[in-house]
Amino acid sequence: MRPTLALLALLALSPLTGCASDGQPWVELKGQRFVVEVADDHDERARGLMFRDQLPEGAGMLFVHDAERPLAYWMKNTRIPLDIFYFDASRKLVSVSRGVPACSLGDRCPPYPSDGPALYVLELNAGQANALGVAPGDTITFGPGIPERGAP
């Protein structure tokens, strides 16, 4: 009977000891962890968060580019207002576009450019930048499994 009780105790405690992201890729910004989908090829980056009606709280999408350069994102066919964070190869915040509205204008949706060269772009629900109090120079931390293309 004792081994069974010990096994049950371990099973009961396992959710408490596991990672909050349950093995999914994650990033951390200003002490807050976000589970992310990773878009690291052309097709995934082009599709992004298009046609989605919601983004769960605590979740986002991380875009990994092939080279550091000035970037501009737009909200074509995106139904969710977002904050768009641009990070350089050292994973330092270059700039953020806050509260970018959804856009259904297709190719007429306006671009939201970075203030300098960027390699990584993080999209989170609108309001997160203000809630976190981010500022240029803040660093993003990557969890396991996220491809790195620049200097860590």
Task: Break the chain into its structural domains and give their ranges.
Answer: 20-142
- The rounded average pLDDT for each run of 10 residues, N- to C-terminus, in the chain (152 residues) is 36 37 89 97 94 96 97 95 98 98 94 98 98 98 86 52
CA dihedral 101, 106, 112, 114 (to 10 degrees): 130
Return the pLDDT at 151: 53
pTM (2 d.p.): 0.84
CATH superfamily of 20-142: Protein of unknown function DUF192 (2.60.120.1140)
Residue 35's SS3 state is: strand
Helical H runs in the chain?
2-17, 42-47, 128-132
